[in-house]
Amino acid sequence: MSDLDATTPRVFLARHGETEWTKNGRYTGATELELTPYGIKQVKSTAVQLVGAKKLIDPARVVRIFVSPRKRARQTFEQLFDSSKIALDDERVKLTEDITEWNYGDYEGLKTAEIRAKRKEKGRDVEKEWDIWRDGCEGGESSQQIAERLDRVISEIRNIQRPYMNGEKPADVVLVAHGHILRCFFKRWLRYPMEMPLTMMLSPGAIGILGYKNHNIEEPGFFVGMSLPSDE
């Protein structure tokens, strides 16, 4: 790793693997779905490549793991850290509703096109198409509510990492959660408003990487790309 990568704390965003609803683009909030067999393979492959001693996510450098309580996220956590022998009852692991998926309310189980059609039947969105980042979800959460709970997590993470910005002690953090909420987290990490247009993609079983520029807690950033650590 470069000197900056090795000494400045990072935050890894781990999206759960594929579910049946992931495959066809249905909004999945509180519905409890398990990973598909392929979803388990996705996460196992990520773990083999990226999680372990001297790998991108080195358990020896991880001080906190936030996990969504939804079954698909817990399964993903178990697959990611199985070889590292880190279980849900480990003192570093925190199950929290603050990073569970967006509460889609009336839109649970629907696809984007179905949601937009449903709203137009009610005479809504005459001038602009529905945008979850701006309009939120009927019977569910608004973007402001999402921002508030994610900001709590971000504040906790910064309090954990603030004393160690120059490598005084390893202080990496991992979030194991869902595709939509992790993209929301990305915006709030950078202090962007939720409604700001920013096209982002995070594949099932993928890992995103956030950090800080110039070893400065007040300069949160993200890695466009990152070299993998050497075994040497």
pLDDT of residue 151: 98
DSSP alpha helix (H) spans, the chain: 3-7, 20-24, 37-50, 71-80, 112-121, 132-135, 143-161, 179-189
Rounded average pLDDT over 56-66: 96
Cα 97 to Cα 118: distance, rounded to the nearest angstrom: 28
Binding residue per annotation — 179?
Answer: no
Residue keyed to tokens 């199950």 = 95
Looking at residue 227, its pLDDT comes to 78
- 103 labeled part of a ligand binding site: yes
| Crossing angle of the two packed helices 143-161 and 179-189, in degrees rounded to 10 | 60
Is 17 annotated in a binding site? The answer is no
Q: Please state, in angstroms and rounded to a whole number, the distance separating the CA atoms of residues 32 and 143.
A: 22
What SS3 class is residue 79?
helix
Query: Is 116 annotated as contributing to ligand binding?
Result: no
Q: Minimal CA–CA distance to 133: which of 120, 146, 121, 122?
A: 146
Residue 4: the pLDDT is 43
Query: What is the rounded CA–CA span in Å between residue 96 and residue 64?
Result: 12
166 is in an annotated binding site: no
Mean pLDDT across 41-46: 96
Clarify whether 178 is annotated catalytic. no
Question: Is 70 annotated as contributing to ligand binding?
Answer: no
Rounded to two decimals, what is the model's pTM?
Answer: 0.93
Which of 5-19, 64-78, 154-168 shows the lowest per-residue confidence on average (mean pLDDT)?
5-19
Report the length, in residues, of the chain: 232
pLDDT of residue 5: 54
Q: Which residue among 78, 91, 97, 101 is the active-site one? A: 101
pLDDT tens per residue across span 81-105:
998 999 999 999 999 999 999 999 9
**1 against 99, higher pLDDT:** 99
pLDDT recorded at residue 231: 63
For residue range 97-145, list pLDDT tens digits in order.
999 999 999 999 999 999 999 999 999 988 899 999 999 999 999 999 9
Would you say 57 and 51 are in contact if contact means Cβ atoms under 8 Å apart?
Answer: yes
Categorize the per-residue pLDDT at 6 as very low, low, confident or very high, splitting at 50, 70 and 90.
low
Over residues 171-229, the pLDDT tens digits come to 999 999 999 999 999 999 999 999 999 999 999 999 999 999 999 999 999 998 877 77
pLDDT over threshold 70, residue 31? yes
Is 56 exposed, middle or buried, given 0-12, 13-18 or 19+ CB atoms closer than 10 A?
buried
**pLDDT > 70? residue 3:** no
From CA 173, how far away is CA 163, in angstroms rounded?
14
Question: Which listed residue (16, 18, 141, 178) is catalytic?
Answer: 16
Average pLDDT of span 36-54: 96
Query: What pLDDT, on a 0 to 100 scale, did the predictor assign at position 1?
Result: 40
State yes or no: is 101 an active-site residue: yes
pLDDT of 156 > 90? The answer is yes
Q: Looking at residue 226, what is its pLDDT? A: 78
Q: Which CATH number fits domain 3-222: 3.40.50.2000, 3.40.50.1240, 3.20.20.220, 3.90.550.10?
A: 3.40.50.1240
Instruction: Determine whether the annotation assigns residue 130 to a binding site.
Output: no
